[in-house]
Amino acid sequence: MSNPFREDLVSRSRPESCTVVIFGATGDLTHRKLIPALYNLAIDGELPSNVKIVGFARRDKSDEVFREGLKELNKDVSRSGHNDEIWNDFEQTVHYHQSEFQDLDGYKRLADRLDAIDTERGSKGNRLFYIASAPEFFDDILQNLKDAGLNNAAKGAWARVIVEKPFGTDLATAQHLNQVVNNTFEEKDTYRIDHYLGKETAQNIMVLRFANAIFEPLWNSRYIEQIQITCSEHLGMEGGRGGYYDTAGAMRDMVQNHLLQLLSLVAMEPPTDLSADGVRDEKVKVIRSLRQWDTPELVAENVVRAQYTAGHIHGKSVVGYCEEDRVDPESNTEAYVAVRCMVDTWRWSGVPFYVRMGKRLPKKATEISVHFKSAPNVLFNAIPGASDEGNVLVIRIQPDEGISLRMVSKLPGTSLRLEPVKMDFHYSTSFGKGSPEAYERLLLDSMAGDATLFARRDEVEEAWKFVDHIEQAWHAEENQPPMAEFTAGSWGPEEAEDLLAKDGNTWRRL
């Protein structure tokens, strides 16, 4: 029998040398995430030797000015701090290429520049194109890469593309983008990024489930009552985000991608192997099995959308969603959403998956809680006042990454009193080191040609199908399900409590 175990997953050697070209190099993502991630990989000795980074953007800048701006931000955001000596070496690998995204000539000049880098370095021409620009330029960039011949790798080399979110704004636009991407790069060379998949704890979901024999026998509707996935954020629309956010909303911004990805990792069947397609085949089946909320009545019954009104966060007063900078005062966009999802498979029949996401909630935290059925109402559970809450397994995605299991225990003493206790595992204390940033892992994986933690074409499209039905009901001419309200700094609208109360459940307090 062939061994499905891949040695490269265990101790991976450094990927081959390559050039990373970042489109949208003057943007926030490049400054706050991508360059600091590459810098931290360099510190950890994980970056391929001789890697070159070329920032492609419209503004006129010299390499020096570009590097200076990157350095200033790196000082503030780098995970392992900033060291001038290491930075000085690192920045020598970074260059700037000025061009309009629509200007084919700029791509031809880029091709010459990349060839010159390869000649100088004696490398064979591996190229990683990272599209981190505003989404309206995705099509132009892909088309121009093709027209300049940059999508074709030299013999023995590779050319890959990473596409940032948003991957479309609905099914039709995602299908169109997929067509444009796959017209330029083969699917195996296409990396659709979802940074939640690069988070250490998200990666650990599969390990927890499939490397420990005790969970899998219980991981089904016979023992599990309900599962909750919560992503709460205390931030609102700071830094001019309102303009983008008001066109997207919580559902498109986070549920379609990050939260449905987490749901699929929790609900998937064991894959036959750990190859990228082995894992993604199972994940897509989950998304395909989601019961569709495809009428206004079903949406009203199973989904709650809301906006925050003025309130307080960490003692400071904040405005309501419709008063935020760059948000339409009459906005019909949700900054909070709670969805009751049903995964119609044999394993999950009848188990609700409650997914919620909100801005301006009391704190920043993402977690998955698996609520097991309670023990029978005999013996200890028959004692008056005993809690009928079952065991809860909590996977903390962030912050304080870790896992805890809630159990009932006897309080020490002569009388019989029961109390819930927690068995708690924290990454930071158990392993004595922090987790790398998601972008570090994902950049390295794409250089190594491992697409396991990237979304495949069918996953993205299936997720949009589910979300589109809900969006259509929300924006229909008539019978629109209502928009609820909650005070900023509270845990969301009453209606979201009612959503669970109908099933006899309550949200776990984070």
Q: Can you give the binding site for ligand BG6, defined by CB under 6 A?
A: 165, 195, 233, 253-254, 366
Nearer to ligand BG6, 195 or 288 (CB): 195
Nearer to ligand BG6, 233 or 367 (CB): 233
Pick from 82, 58, 63: which is nearest to 72 by CA? 82
Nearer to ligand BG6, 135 or 296 (CB): 135
Q: To the nearest whole angstrom, how small is the minimum distance from the Cβ of residue 396 to ligand BG6?
A: 12
Nearer to ligand BG6, 239 or 376 (CB): 239
Pick from 486, 459, 457, 481: which is nearest to 471 by CA? 481
Q: To the nearest whole angstrom, how small is the minimum distance from the Cβ of residue 230 to ligand BG6?
A: 12
Residue 63: helix, strand or coil by DSSP?
A: helix
Q: What does the alpha-carbon distance between residue 470 and residue 487 come to, in Å, rounded to a whole number? A: 24
Residue with tokens 């008056």: 384
Q: What does the alpha-carbon distance between residue 52 and residue 48 come to, in Å, rounded to a whole number? A: 9
Composition of the chain by helix, strand, coil, percent to 5: 40, 20, 40
Per-position DSSP letters for 117-156, written without gaps between them? HHHHHT----EEEEE-S-GGGHHHHHHHHHHTTTTSPPTT
Active site residue 258: yes
Q: What does the alpha-carbon distance between residue 210 and residue 111 come to, in Å, rounded to a whole number? A: 45
How far does the chain reach from its first CA to its final CA, in angstroms? 46
One-letter amino acid at 297 equals: E
Q: To the nearest whole angstrom, how small is the minimum distance from the Cβ of residue 245 to ligand BG6?
A: 7
Nearer to ligand BG6, 91 or 324 (CB): 324
Computed from CA positions of residues 214, 218, 223, 226, in that sequence, does the dihedral angle turn out positive or negative? positive
- Which of 95, 97, 195, 258 is the catalytic position? 258
Q: Which residues are catalytic?
A: 258
